[in-house]
Amino acid sequence: MKKNGTLNSEISKVLSDMGHTDTIVIADCGLPIPANVKKIDLALKIGTPAFLDVLEELELEMMIEKVTLASEINEHNPNLHHLLCDKFTDIAYVSHEDLKQETKSAKAIIRTGEATPYANIILKAGVIF
């Protein structure tokens, strides 16, 4: 049994298989999941697990080069937006509709129990060298 790090085997496998520029998405419980993209459903109930809990774990495991957010987050979820701006320096903004289109090329979408507006992020993998 793995004794530390991401214990979820599906998340661990996807992260291990990712290369430079591959993407993974952390989503709230309402984001539609494209049929051809692996869904890792962690949602247990509204709010559990929280978006930030999942993001913090992935930050420990993944080299993140860039993130993409829906531009609507600033107006509709300013608290989360400020937290994300404190965490990341390279942030791209697209419309929520364009973000949903970009999820179609992700290696996986991790569905959380988050139920706040626009709590979705695309994480682009960097390299460790």
* Residue 24 φ/ψ, nearest 5 degrees: -135, 150
Q: Which of 128, 120, 127, 118 is nearest to 24 (CA)?
A: 120
Catalytic residue among 20, 76, 81, 82: 20
Reading the chain (129 residues) residue by residue, the pLDDT tens digits are: 788 889 999 999 999 999 999 999 999 999 999 999 999 999 999 999 999 999 999 999 999 999 999 999 999 999 999 999 999 999 999 999 999 999 999 999 999 999 999 999 999 999 999
- CATH 3.30.70.2740 is the classification of domain 9-125: no
For the chain, what are the domain ranges? 9-125
Which residue type, as a one-letter code, is found at position 86? Answer: D
Q: Taking the model in full, what pTM does it have?
A: 0.97
Residue 118 among known ligand-binding residues? yes
Q: How many angstroms separate the first and last alpha carbons of the chain?
A: 29
28 known member of a binding site: yes
E strands, the chain, are 23-27, 38-41, 64-70, 91-94, 108-111, 121-125
Establish whether 76 is an annotated binding residue: no
Do 28 and 121 form a contact (C-beta atoms < 8 A)? no
The yes-or-no answer on residue 76 being catalytic is no
